[in-house]
Amino acid sequence: MAASYNKLFKLLIDKKMKKGELCELAGISGTSIAKLGRGDSVTTDILVKICTALKCDFADIMEMED
C-alpha cells in the first residue's frame, strides 16, 4: 500500500489555489510539494502544516492505495 495525495491536488483546484500559494501559506518548501506529487514520503509535520493552512483533516488530503 502507498499513500496517494491526489485529494490534496483536487482540493487545491477546488480552492483555485496554486502549489506555490500553498507553500507560502503553509510555510513548506516546493520540494515537499514535489514529493507529494510523486507520492514520496514526507514527514507528519508537513502534513500537519498543510492541514492547518487548508483547515482540513488528513483524510481530506490523502488516501491509501494498493
Which tens digits make up the pLDDT trace of 5-64?
999 999 999 999 999 999 999 999 999 999 999 989 999 999 999 999 999 999 999 999
Please, are residues 5 and 39 in contact by the beta-carbon 8 Å criterion?
yes
62 contacts 3 by C-beta, under 8 angstroms: yes
Q: Answer yes or no: is 65 within a domain.
A: no
Could you tell me if residue 49 is inside a domain? yes
Q: Is this model's pTM higher than 0.85 or not?
A: yes
Q: What CATH number does residue 32 fall under? A: 1.10.260.40
Domain that holds residue 55: 2-59
Instruction: Report yes or no on 64 lying in a domain.
Output: no
Domain count, the chain: 1
